[in-house]
Amino acid sequence: MRLDPDNAKCRNHIKIINRQEDAKEKGNAAFKAGNNQEAVNQYTNGIDLDPHNKTLSSTLFANRAAAYMKLKKFTEALADCNKAIALNENYAKAYLRRGEVRMELDDYEDATRDFNRADQLDPSKNSTYFQTNFFSAWCKRKNESCKPRSKESFKKRLL
DSSP 3: S
Residue 60 exposure: Cα atoms within 13 Å on the Cβ side: 28
The answer to whether residue 123 scores a pLDDT higher than 60 is: yes
| Alpha-helix runs per DSSP H in 33-126 | 36-49, 54-70, 74-87, 92-104, 108-121
Q: Which of 42-51, 84-93, 101-110 comes out lowest in average pLDDT?
A: 101-110
Please tell me which of 12-16, 17-21, 129-133, 134-138 the model is most confident about, judged by mean pLDDT. 17-21
The answer to whether residue 46 scores a pLDDT higher than 90 is: yes
Query: What mean pLDDT value characterizes the chain?
Result: 83
Which pLDDT tens digit goes with each residue over 139-157? 655 655 555 444 455 545 4
**CA of 52: how far to CAs of 42, 90, 148, in Å?**
17, 17, 46
Q: Please check whether residue 6 is in contact with residue 26, taking contact to mean a CB–CB distance below 8 angstroms.
A: no
CATH of 1-88, one of 1.25.40.10, 3.30.43.10, 3.90.1150.200, 3.40.190.170: 1.25.40.10
158: pLDDT confidence band, cut at 50, 70 and 90?
A: very low
127: pLDDT confidence band, cut at 50, 70 and 90?
A: low
* Domain limits, the chain: 1-88, 91-159
1: pLDDT confidence band, cut at 50, 70 and 90?
A: very low
119: pLDDT confidence band, cut at 50, 70 and 90?
A: confident
User: Whole-angstrom Cα distance, residue 11 to residue 130?
Assistant: 42
Which pLDDT tens digit goes with each residue over 50-88? 988 899 999 999 999 999 999 999 999 999 999 999 999
Between helix 74-87 and helix 54-70 the angle, nearest 10°, is: 160
Which pLDDT tens digit goes with each residue over 16-27? 888 999 999 999
Q: What are phi and psi of 33, to 5 degrees?
A: -80, -5
- pTM equals 0.79
Helix, strand, coil abundance in the chain, percent, nearest 5 = 80, 0, 20
